Amino acid sequence: MERIDILLSIVYLLLFPGFLFLFAFSLFTEYLDRKIYARIQRRVGPPFLQPFADLVKLSAKEDIVPEKAEHFMFTAAPLIGLAAIFAAFLYLPIVSTTGLHSFNGDLVVVLYLLTIPTLAMFLGGWYSGNVFGQKGGMRVASLLFSYEIPFFLALLTPALLQGSWKMADITRFEATHPLEFVVSLLGFFIGLIALQGKLERLPFDIPEAETEIVAGPLVEYSGRRLALFRLARDAEMVVGAGLIAVVFLAGPEPILPLEPVYLSWLVAALVFLLKTLFVIFLLILLKSAVARIRTDQMISFAYQWLIPLTLVQIFIAIIVRFFGGI
């Protein structure tokens, strides 16, 4: 691991491509999400700064903790969710082949960290003391496995092909072996669909189905806590899409050896952003073309289609490796 001096890592952590960047980029993707969704629906859509304005205004609103809610858990849930996502983001390789910190197994760590917001959502809903919140929390928990298993398995395919759990190795390998993308194409699409489920977006927005259980786990949230949850949701989209871009689309690679080194970082970050935005664009397209399905339909969809297909993908990966790899 190369040595970075302290000042640089603070800049990395807080400014670029750390928290501030993630914050801005999350709001930007929310803008894109809403704008493209609106344009597809022949609406005008929000102005550029709308997500930011929403966040600021929401933060200034009255923040109520219901009497029946468990105060500590109710407050902790959005913080835990947001913290986990921000932590996961630091491991993504954005400006160079590695994130802030890279080791063998960092892919698994990111996958685990990305599960935490879901749990936070469940806890927040469960402890809100509202029957809609609890119903939503139950739905979050019962749907967890239907997308989590295919998501994990699909994202492990490139790792299998390459033989390493390190994201830096995976992106390097993909940059040098473009055929790898073709082999893991199925996994890419499974990952996308599972990510859509993970982000609780249409057609899988079952836990917060507006017309059924109002807002599900978020029903009692207001003000700052709701703003945090919404920010966490946006950031989760960025990190989830970024992870898919890294694992399947080689992330910031190919990295050009430019002078000065800042320029190469900038180009790498730009490449990463474009790939992430491409993934997000696919997610938006999917969202605008479907209706919401039911809990039972989602579970049977996951177990009848997604998981078997993921196993097929893994089988393909093993075969390819057995015959000497790509």
Partner 1 sequence: MGYVKLPIGPQHPALKEPENFTITLDGERVVNVDIRIGYIHRGIEKLMETRTYTQNLYLVERICGICSYAHVYNFTQNVEEILGLQIPKRAEYIRTLFLELERLHSHFLWLGVAGHEIGFDTLFMYTWQDREVVQDLLEMISGNRVNYAMNAIGGVRRDVSQEHRKKVLESMDYLEKRAEFYKNVAINEKTILARAENVGILKPQVALRLTAVGPTARASGISVDIRKDDPYASYLDTPFEVITTDTNDVLGRVVVRVLEIVESIKIIRYLMEHLPEGDILKKAPRKIPEGESISHTEAPRGEDIHYLHSNGTEKPDRYKVRTPTLANLPATAEMLKETYLADVPIIVAAIDPCMGCMDRVLLLKDGQEKPGELISGEQLRRYGIKWYAERGWNA
Q: Which of 142, 117, 138, 122 is nearest to 195 (CA)?
A: 117
Interaction of residue 304 with partner 1, rule CB under 8 A: no
Minimum CB separation of residue 209 from partner 1 in Å reads: 7
Burial of 49 (0-12, 13-18, 19+ CB in 10 A): exposed
C-beta neighbour count of 303 within 10 angstroms: 14
Interaction of residue 286 with partner 1, rule CB under 8 A: no
Exactly one of 4, 8, 10, 43 binds partner 1 (CB under 8 A); which one?
A: 43
Minimum CB separation of residue 173 from partner 1 in Å reads: 36
Interaction of residue 294 with partner 1, rule CB under 8 A: yes
Minimum CB separation of residue 280 from partner 1 in Å reads: 18
CB of 136 or CB of 252, closer to partner 1: 136
Q: Give the up-direction half-sphere exposure of residue 285: CA atoms within 13 A in the CB hemisphere.
A: 8
Q: Binders of partner 1 among 102-161, rule CB under 8 A?
A: 131-132, 134-135, 138
With beta carbons less than 8 A apart as the criterion, state whether 73 and 80 touch: no
How far is the C-alpha of 306 from the C-alpha of 120, rounded, in Å? 25
Helical H segments across the chain, by residue range: 6-14, 19-40, 50-60, 71-91, 106-126, 131-162, 167-176, 179-183, 185-198, 210-213, 223-249, 261-288, 295-301, 307-322
How far is the C-alpha of 150 from the C-alpha of 111, rounded, in Å? 12
Interaction of residue 44 with partner 1, rule CB under 8 A: no
Interaction of residue 293 with partner 1, rule CB under 8 A: yes
CB of 107 or CB of 199, closer to partner 1: 199
Interaction of residue 211 with partner 1, rule CB under 8 A: yes
Exactly one of 57, 72, 210, 312 binds partner 1 (CB under 8 A); which one?
A: 210
Binding site for partner 1 (CB under 8 A): 40-43, 131-132, 134-135, 138, 202-203, 205-206, 209-214, 288-297
